Structure 1
Amino acid sequence: MKPTPIKPYLMRAIHEWCSDHGYTPYLVVAVRGKLQVPMEFVKNGEITLNVSYNATRNLQLGDDFVHFSARFNGVSRDIVVPIGAVVSLFARETGEGMAWEPEFAEEGTEESERVSSLRPVSAAPEALSASEPDVASGDDTEPDDTPPPAPPAGRGHLRVVK
């Protein structure tokens, strides 16, 4: 009998710590093989996902897979990530967390076949509210190290509305 790996337990603990302290947990996933992630947001073979309870629906940090639904540019998508593809889980605000080496299943193995056939249970469309936060509004991509552009010179463009 194969022993249960410690990684899923550590991931759940870090996620709980982030949630308890009001931090935003980010999950970095190495994209290779059959993953169910929005490929248009993949950069340099990795995708960074906001996995806070506010940004996800039906989040499950299981022993083998991470499952959840999230909105990307206003469209709800089901995300399925094998635990082995998780590179790190950290708090956006502090950078504290943990990193791991990605472990990919070989093609034709039982785990790689389960990824391609697995479909998480998603919420009914009417249960999704219009006020739900948009995951792809900037929180799901890798943080930029470049400073924001300087504001234009001159007077501001604010006006008082009564």
Structure 2
Amino acid sequence: MNSVPIKPYLMRAIHEWCSDHGHTPYLVAAVKGKMQVPMEFVKNGEIVLNISYNATRNLQLGDDYVRFSARFGGVSRDIIVPIGAVVSLFSRETGEGMAWEPELTEAAEAGEVDRPASSLRPVPQEPVDQTADADEPSINEQKPAAEPDDEPTPPPAPGRSHLRIVK
């Protein structure tokens, strides 16, 4: 009998728990091979993604892949992360969540489905300090590290927000 992995079900449950309680779900994925993620945001072979409904469009937490569209530096990008590459899913506010060992194989790197049984372990994580980066954009909106000649972008002026049509 072919074993059905539990990891996608746990990921959906953690995401739902975060969403129901007003928390921001963060996904950490090990980047290896030809994954469809913005490589300029990869640090130490991993990428951290805000997968809240507010930060994503068309979010699909499937059995084989996590798929969504998000803005990175103002540019909409389609993201596809194999379930085997997901290292953890946790709440930004509390640090509660779960972590797994990455399950990447050559088949997963090539885009084929990889469905081994996952090894689970709880992860005690410290909550992210929201006061330290309250002025920074969400993780999907951050720009790559600035060049020495770049000047920081001034924060938007306080007041009434407005929508702008970009063609």
TM-score normalised to the size of structure 1? 0.69
Distance 1:137 1:49 in 2: 13
Contact residue 73 and residue 137 of structure 1 kept, 8 A: no
Distance 2:4 2:85 in 1: 16
Contact residue 72 and residue 137 of structure 1 kept, 8 A: no
Counterpart position of 2:130:
none
Distance 1:4 1:59 in 2: 22
Q: Which has the larger radius of gyration?
A: 1
Distance 1:5 1:27 in 2: 18
Counterpart position of 2:110:
113
Q: Structure 1 residues 40 and 78, CA, compared in 2 at 3 Å: closer, same or farther? A: same
Distance 2:45 2:14 in 1: 24
Distance 2:40 2:109 in 1: 22
Unaligned runs of 5+ in 1: 116-135, 143-160
Contact residue 30 and residue 86 of structure 2 kept, 8 A: yes
The structural deviation recorded for 1:141 is: 8.7
Counterpart position of 1:68:
68
Residue 103 of structure 1 aligns to a residue whose secondary structure is coil
Distance 1:29 1:3 in 2: 23
Kindly report which structure 2 residues correspond to 1:53-64, keeping only aligned pairs within 5 A, or say none: 53-64=53-64
- Which amino acid is 1:98 matched to? M
Kindly report which structure 2 residues correspond to 1:16-55, keeping only aligned pairs within 5 A, or say none: 16-55=16-55
The structural deviation recorded for 1:113 is: 3.4
Residue 55 of structure 1 aligns to a residue whose secondary structure is coil
- Which amino acid is 2:110 matched to? E
**RMSD of equivalent CA atoms:** 2.1
Contact residue 48 and residue 141 of structure 1 kept, 8 A: no
| Residues 79-132 of structure 1: CA deviation (Å, up to 9, x unaligned) | 0000000000000000000000001122xx3x44336xxxxxxxxxxxxxxxxx
Residue 14 of structure 1 aligns to a residue whose secondary structure is helix
The structural deviation recorded for 1:65 is: 0.3
Distance 1:14 1:33 in 2: 27
Counterpart position of 1:15:
15
| Residues 128-162 of structure 1: CA deviation (Å, up to 9, x unaligned) | xxxxxxxx9342499xxxxxxxxxxxxxxxxxx9x
Contact residue 60 and residue 68 of structure 1 kept, 8 A: yes
Number of equivalent positions: 120
